Amino acid sequence: MLEGAVGSRYAGALFEIAERDGIIDKLEQELDIIRDIVTGSRDLQKVMYYSQVNPDEKKDILKGIFKDQISGLTFNFLFLLIDRQRESFLDSIISTFKELAYKARNTEQVQVTSAVKLNENEKAELEKSLGKLTGKKVQSSYSVDPLLIGGVMVRIGDRIIDGSVRNKLSSLREFLRQTS
């Protein structure tokens, strides 16, 4: 509960500044860089999220890592989180910021999982259909899960559309079990 509230408050404030200054895309890219580097390093996570590490040391470490990759605004935002002991909410803040950015662009983020890798034509057709379904532009990420057997499973926000063969077989099995 607290994580969502903190994430919303800080992400909302950062988003207002980004929107005012016309730098939503730039800030989103910088936040992606931060998330990728922090989640990719257990040592950095320990430093960032351990309250016994001096805040000035945390700031110096971040300056060294991100010196040529993020803007002064983003540094100031990270330093504010550190000063207010909110750095443990960074992932939630970034996720909320990205949601606000998608909403501002009238874009829906969609995760598509298929049994086999989709070709570009299949991706284009799927995105076109999903765009009609959502009434928004679609930004898709793709993954492959052979356990689906065939078909696709689509996650749009908190909704899941399961058109996989595995799901259909499971439904058929349940139907046969109930009728016998």
3-class DSSP state for residue 13? helix
Q: How far is CA 158 from the centre of its chain?
A: 13
**Which of 173, 148, 172, 174 is closest to 161 using CA atoms?**
148
Chain centre distance of CA 73: 21
What does the block give as tokens for 109? 């983020």
Query: Do 56 and 92 contact (CB within 8 A), yes or no?
Result: no
pLDDT given at position 157: 84
Instruction: Say what angle helices 24-39 and 42-49 make with each other, to 10 degrees.
Output: 110
- The pLDDT tens digits of the residues spanning 104-144 come to 999 999 999 999 999 999 999 999 999 999 999 999 999 99
Evaluate if pTM is beyond 0.85.
no
Whether 2 has a pLDDT exceeding 70, the answer reads no
Domains of the chain in start order, with CATH, are: 2-103 (1.10.520.20), 113-179 (no CATH)
Mean of per-residue pLDDT scores for the chain: 93
Structure tokens at 54: 């001096």
Tens of pLDDT, residues 19-64: 999 999 999 999 999 999 999 999 999 989 888 899 999 999 999 9
- At 96 the pLDDT is 95
Alpha-carbon distances, residue 118 vs 115, 127, 157 (angstroms): 9, 12, 21
